[in-house]
Amino acid sequence: MKKLKYIFIFLLIVTLFQSVFVTTSFGANTADSNQSKTDATDITIYSPSCVLIESSTGEILYQKNANEVRYPASTTKMMTAILALENCQLSDVATVSHNAIFSIPADYVVANLREGEQLTIEQLLNVLLIPSANDAAIVLAEHISGSVSKFADLMNEKAKEIGCQHTHFVNPNGIHNKNHTSTAYDLALIARYAMNNPTFREIVKKTKYTLPATNKYSKADRSFNTTNDLLIKNTSKSKSNYYYPDAIGVKTGYTGEAGNCLVSAANKNGMEVISVVLGADITDTGLSEKFLDSITLLNYAFDNYEVKTIYEKNSVLKEVQVFGATKETRNLNVLVKDGIGIFLEKGVNTDNLQAEVTLDKLKAPITAGSVIGKISYTVDENTYTSELIAQSDVLPSNFLPILFRVILIAIILYLIYVLLKPRKKGRNKKLRTKNSKSSKYKSSKGRKRTNEYHYSNINIR
């Protein structure tokens, strides 16, 4: 009996806990993760090192010597831009030093900055990333860290934070140094990180930029064009053999030792990919291998993969009824806040995909837009998640639901108290014994009185 009593108490406590705190979870299945990847052996890549990744997951779609250590040239400037964006305000003003002007070798690209000239961080970032100005990189490095060497330390710390394992920077611009190295895969990680910054994304897709007049340069005639031919349309004023309509950046690079380098990003039908080619050359027909290879890789991605939209942003997941709400507001639409798109090979059936959905214990009041749960899918070891939010306000009906809960809790606590209250066995036994003796006594007295009564009524003759 004792065991049954404690089991009952435990169940009551669990019931009480669930009624107040517990959240609801359902549909916990994952998709099959053993989907085979498309065979990429039939594509031709000229460059000695390259990699292709999908941006949202970081999944590698194609690689060729992706971890081979090479010289990154001006693709280095992606990291310089990251640190400028994370350590400065765009409106901050930096001053061009003597070193920024005269430390750049004669055959490297510059923005024709003047010693003592003052420019905003935003202006410097534009000339850093669009025409690939090496003097702008030095100005940013000195403004942030005080010197190029200290800034290089900061670059290497950030590279490790991002996940780079084979990268070592010694300057902010990629001017050749035998100790200044990286890999195609590490540069893809850096580009993926940088493209999460809206300002970086906006700058690297531009094709032109003009510096305004400054304190040291009175004209606004310093205009620059992008070095990324994937972004240049064929028009009457410009011509490109490599225009790629879906390209959105990112950064070119070249030194004699590094060869031609290109980090590219493209977005099509909601899928974004990043390609990196290092050490490219010129074909026998005079075409640039870095652009040809990049186009081949981007086409391969979009021809064979897609992002399948499961839920659009703010789409309705389901309708639920909220406890304690008014009749007019109790039916609540649960929305998928950010939407969910799943990266897959083309042709993969998604009908059997099941989500894991967790909803809070819903009770009025609820504010429109408030987070009330989470939805996630797991496919090929990648997890796609979105918060769930309330579409509308949910108003409490009155105090009865609260009163009902209070009464329920009081009843449960009282039952627990009664079940746990100890019984005084010794006292009960004494009371039973005493009552028994008293009954016997009364019974015998009753019999005596009865006998006496009968006796007294006998006629004596």
Tens of pLDDT, residue by residue over 355-365, are: 999 999 998 99
Whether 87 and 230 map to the same domain: the answer is yes
Token output for 66: 């992706």
Distance, in Å, from the CA atom of 6 to the CA atom of 450, rounded to the nearest integer, reads 54
State which H helix or E strand residue 396 sits in.
none
Residue 418 has pLDDT above 70, yes or no: yes
Residue at which a domain ends, from 303, 320, 348: 303
Main-chain phi, psi angles of 360, to 5 degrees? -65, 165
How far is 52 from 59, CA to CA, in rounded Å? 9
pLDDT of 195-252, one tens digit each?
999 999 999 999 999 999 999 999 999 999 999 999 999 876 767 789 999 999 999 9
Structure tokens at 281: 């050359």
Are 343 and 232 in the same domain? no
Task: Output the six-digit token pair for 400.
Answer: 């009865």
Cross-strand bridge partners of residue 181: 168
Predicted confidence band of residue 449 (pLDDT cuts 50, 70, 90): very low
The range of the structural domain enclosing residue 189 comes to 49-303
Q: Is residue 428 part of a domain?
A: no
User: Which residues, at least 6 apart from 278, have a Cβ–Cβ distance to it below 8 Å?
Assistant: 47, 48, 49, 50, 70, 71, 72, 183, 184, 187, 258, 259, 261
Average pLDDT in the 140-164 region? 98
* pLDDT band, residue 324 (cuts 50/70/90): confident
Return the active site residues. Answer: 74, 77, 132
Nearest residue to 368 via CA among 339, 332, 397: 332
Q: Which of 145, 28, 132 is nearest to 73 (CA)?
A: 132
Q: In whole angstroms, what is the distance from residue 143 CA to residue 334 CA?
A: 48
**Domain co-membership, 141 together with 271:** yes
Average pLDDT, the chain: 86
460 in a structural domain: no
pTM of the predicted protein model? 0.77
Q: What is the DSSP string of 133-161?
A: -HHHHHHHHHHHHSSHHHHHHHHHHHHHH
- Do 352 and 294 share a domain, yes or no? no
Q: Is the pLDDT of residue 25 over 50?
A: no
Whether residue 95 lies inside any domain: the answer is yes
Is there a domain that residue 415 lies in?
Answer: yes
Q: What is the mean pLDDT of residues 441-447?
A: 49
pLDDT at site 422: 73
Residue 427 located in a structural domain: no
Question: What is the Cα Rg of the chain in Å?
Answer: 39
54-95 pLDDT tens trace: 999 999 999 999 999 999 999 999 999 999 999 999 999 999
Same domain, 113 and 231: yes
- Binning pLDDT at 50, 70 and 90, where does residue 402 land? low
**Identity of the residue numbered 2:** K
CATH number (domain holding residue 259):
3.40.710.10
**Sequence-ordered list of residues with C-beta below 8 angstroms from that of 363, at least 6 positions apart, any chain:** 322, 323, 324, 401
Instruction: Please state the domain count of the chain.
Output: 2
| Cβ count near 74 (within 10 Å) | 27
Q: Which of 31-45, 237-251, 418-432 ranks highest by mean pLDDT?
A: 237-251
Per-residue pLDDT of 236-294, as tens digits, reads 676 778 999 999 999 999 999 999 999 999 999 999 999 999 999 999 999 999 999 99
Mean pLDDT of 154-174: 98
What DSSP string runs through 70-134? B--GGGGHHHHHHHHHHHS-TT-EEE--HHHHHTS-TTS------TT-EEEHHHHHHHHHSS--H
Same domain, 167 and 227: yes
| Residue 251 included in any domain | yes
In a domain, 279, yes or no: yes
Number of H helices and number of E strands within the chain? Answer: 11, 17
Among candidate residues 263, 265, 267, 355, the one with its CA nearest the CA of residue 318? 355
Residue 405: the pLDDT is: 73
**Residues 293 and 321 grouped into a single domain:** no
Q: Domain with 327 in it: what CATH number?
A: 2.60.410.10
Residue 380's pLDDT band (cuts 50, 70, 90) = confident
Domain boundary among 234, 269, 303: 303
Residue with the bigger pLDDT between 422 and 166: it is 166
- Tell me the average pLDDT across 175-202: 98
